[in-house]
Chains A and B, each alone.
Chain A
Amino acid sequence: MEQNNKPVKYDLNFAREIYNLENGSYIKQCMQCGMCAISCATREIMDYSPRRLFNLIKLGKKDEVMQANTMWNCTSCCTCKARCPRGVPIIDVMHDLKKYAIQNGYADYPQAAFYKAFWAEVAGRGKVFEGGVTARYYLLRGLDEVKKAMAMKDVGLKMLKHKRMPLFPPKKIKGLGNLKKIIKKAQEIERREAR
């Protein structure tokens, strides 16, 4: 039991909000077995295992859930999803939680910046230019991260040397306009379906 003497209090409002996300209703099926906790490639550095995160959602602990690194450390390796005995598509739930976190201003993790940078590339070009993602990422993260980038310059140089880092981005796809229309429509549909 936690040191805190005052019992934590159940509040289903947050849970309901999460259960209404695209894959959120699957969380309800969680039977608290903990398989995901072990399966996770990054379990050592996760604040809460997915199981525990789902439990905290049930409890209504919005801040704890949203400030957790759990979803951001998820590498989408599919191990938990493939193993979950209740068939909860955990990585898809993590996608929803990331999206929800970004939308609700809980995006302090560096991964959140990377995600945004990646999306900006995709949306702007129809393809991803890895160099572009990196640049955008550092712009979003600011100076501290550039220091880290310097530490990694060896990696970058080696990649350049082995023709692994094209300096110029690929051409935008021809159907970019149509792709943007599709995306816009898809997001409209999603909002419609959510309610």
Chain B
Amino acid sequence: MMKYSLYPGCSMEATAQANLKSIIAVAKALDLHLEEIPDWNCCGATVASGVVGDFTQQVMTARNLAIAEAKGLDVVVGCSSCYLSLAVTNKRFKEDEHFKAKANEALAAGGYKYDGSLRVRQFLEVVINDVGFDKIKARVKKPLAGLKVAGYVGCQTVRAIPYEFDDPEYPVQMDKLMEALGATATKFPMKARCCGSSNAIAATEIVIDQAYKIFESASEGGADVIATPCPMCQLNLDAYEQMVNQKYGTNFSLPILFFTQLMAVAFDLPADAQALSYCINSPYQALASYGVAR
């Protein structure tokens, strides 16, 4: 069994509970042991950087790494925004001695210290590299044969650390994962385009306009569903699909799922692990032929 520390992040406890539920269930099914970092705090995301600056935000983030370092396990992150914070902070600890000294000086004020020994990883990457497509295929009980999936990787997942495990402009790894589940990855030029992210509240129009382009591109490719690893992407598309339809006079009704939810379906895990009821746009019809019921 492979062991990891898990950093869930704030969204997983609120808007993206479906993500956390399916991650935990899929991990278990694949023999991956995830241990939540005790008393983790918000990473601050890029929003905090805009108020207090990168350094302060990264020191906040580092508190989580400092706590996790006691176990020495790779830190797995589900949320792409949290991943951006943790991975970039971790990289600076490893590569920038001056930063490391300053950051540890600040951490010391709270009684923490981080040596930069850990690896920060995305759950998507762990599933692909540590488990591998062959084992995933072997675990599939209900192949998603015939399901056309637009793999919406989003922006930060592949661009936080470009080329870390995929092309930052035209990623293909999640598509391969979908293929391993038996589904068909559709042509989807907007697969790495930003959804508008944190502008959902303050500048809704941005999100609606972005979401429109993404839905348009996914529909052109003939997708039945959109899959994503990112809580912001999932929420923005899921919550605003109808507003997009209103503004643009379109008729999109694509369900937006976390890739882990589709894994749970293909692995034939229980309904709670699939967490499909959290989807605003119902996925039941699209997934009906894979043993999914409301």
- The interface of chain A, by Cβ under 8 A from chain B, is 22-23, 41-42, 44-45, 71-73, 75-79, 81-82, 91-92, 94-96, 98-99, 102, 109-111, 113-116, 118-119, 122, 125-131, 133-134, 137, 148, 152, 154-155, 158-159, 161-166, 170, 173-179, 181-187, 189-190, 193
Contacts and interface: CB of A to CB of B under 8 A. Distances in A.
Given A126-B41, A155-B240, A186-B59, A116 B202 contact: no
A40 to B, nearest CB: 9
Contact of A99 (B51, B169, B193, B205): B51
B106 A159 contact: no
Interface bin, chain B: 35 or more
The 7 closest A-B pairs by CB, nearest first: A77-B194, A178-B110, A98-B50, A77-B155, A185-B109, A78-B159, A41-B194
Given A79-B194, A114-B201, A133-B201, A92 B109 contact: no
A76 B102 CA distance: 25
Interface of B: 10-11, 13-15, 17, 39-42, 44-57, 59-60, 63, 84, 102-103, 105-112, 155-156, 159-160, 162, 168-169, 193-194, 196-199, 201-206, 209-210, 235, 239-240, 242-243, 277-280
Given A118-B47, A155-B243, A185-B105, A179 B198 contact: no
A150 B105 CA distance: 46
Contacts of B108: 185
Dominant secondary structure of chain B at its interface with chain A: helix
Interface SS of chain A: helix
Contacts of B46: 76, 91, 95
A77 B156 contact: yes
A70 B196 CA distance: 14
A77 B204 contact: no
Contacts of A77: 155-156, 159, 193-194, 197
Contact of A42 (B13, B44, B206, B239): B206
B224 to A, nearest CB: 20
Contacts of B11: 130
Contacts of B205: 45
Nearest to A141: B202
A81 B279 CA distance: 32
